[in-house]
Structure 1
């Protein structure tokens, strides 16, 4: 697969937090998520995070990748991250590309024109991330989990999420609207950076609380 690494993953992750701009309400939400995860870690010693978006093709995939990376970065071996949708489509090509641009390596494990399965790794990676589009209640997910919806549609279409011990709504702007435009790469990278920064904020808060 074509690879276009131009930014160091670790540096991008650090810069995303340093340059993060969020309002007071958003910060309170991130702190609430961090506090709940911290309490679960202290009580159960294991936490499963399920990032949910309608198509599981862009924002939820980015969140899963950065959450998995954050577990590695902060040495949280008992925090597991995955993602799903209210429907399965594919790990969208532009999502793959924006992650490649910040240092993630993608290798195809199972080829499919519609929904290939990727092995996603990074420098010093021990356990590659497995990425493909799937339903939020997929058999591949560890249960029970904390559900984090990353788009309004997923939040509205899932009035009840089985196996969720808690649910948070953390929406991000959808870069899809910029597909096939001159702003495509810029807007995907913008969403990529915001998600990386907010995931970094959550995990950093957990680290400071334990």
Structure 2
């Protein structure tokens, strides 16, 4: 789904195990990539304070009511697209979820930017 949405995705390494490779994900050929892999929020690769925590599944939302070090916490639960794995709708379901998450993250980060930008101004 990420590739079909226009991202460049390549396996970078398998230092976290063959079932959890690190991917280099970029928005384009000339755009620096970001190392992405599945991890807990306490992983040393993540910031330990002053970050925004985005909970994307209801079990994470329930299981992590407090995210230590987070400056803000947002719950945006999604139905896992794996419900369609092995069906004729698999690609369409993943593509739809990719668009939904992308749209909602764009909105959320726009709101964060707007609110951070308004701090310290009279209004």
* TM-score category (smaller protein): 0.7 to 0.9
Structure 1-normalised TM-score?
Answer: 0.49
- Note the aligned Cα RMSD (angstroms): 1.8
Runs of at least 4 residues off by over 6 Å: none
Alpha-carbon shift at residue 197 of structure 1 (Å): 0.8
| Structure whose alpha-carbon radius of gyration is higher | 2
Residues 180 and 205 of structure 1, relative CA distance in 2, 3 Å threshold: same
Number of residues paired by the alignment? Answer: 112
Q: How does 1:68-107 map to 2 (within 5 A)?
A: 98-107=1-10
- Return the alpha-carbon distance in structure 2 between the equivalents of residues 204 and 160 of structure 1: 24
The structure in which a higher percent of residues are helix is 1
- Return the alpha-carbon distance in structure 2 between the equivalents of residues 106 and 207 of structure 1: 27
* Structure 1 equivalent of residue 121 of structure 2: none
- Return the alpha-carbon distance in structure 2 between the equivalents of residues 164 and 142 of structure 1: 9
- Tell me which of the two structures has the higher relative contact order, counting C-alpha pairs closer than 8 angstroms and 6 or more residues apart: 1
- Return the alpha-carbon distance in structure 1 between the equivalents of residues 64 and 88 of structure 2: 34
Q: Could you tell me which runs of 5 or more consecutive residues in structure 1 were left unpaired when the two chains were aligned.
A: 1-97
* Structure 2 equivalent of residue 186 of structure 1: 92
Structure 2-normalised TM-score?
Answer: 0.79
The alignment status of 1:149 with 2:55, answered yes or no, reads: yes
- Return the alpha-carbon distance in structure 1 between the equivalents of residues 62 and 89 of structure 2: 29
Q: Could you tell me which runs of 5 or more consecutive residues in structure 2 were left unpaired when the two chains were aligned.
A: 118-123
* Structure 2 equivalent of residue 128 of structure 1: 33
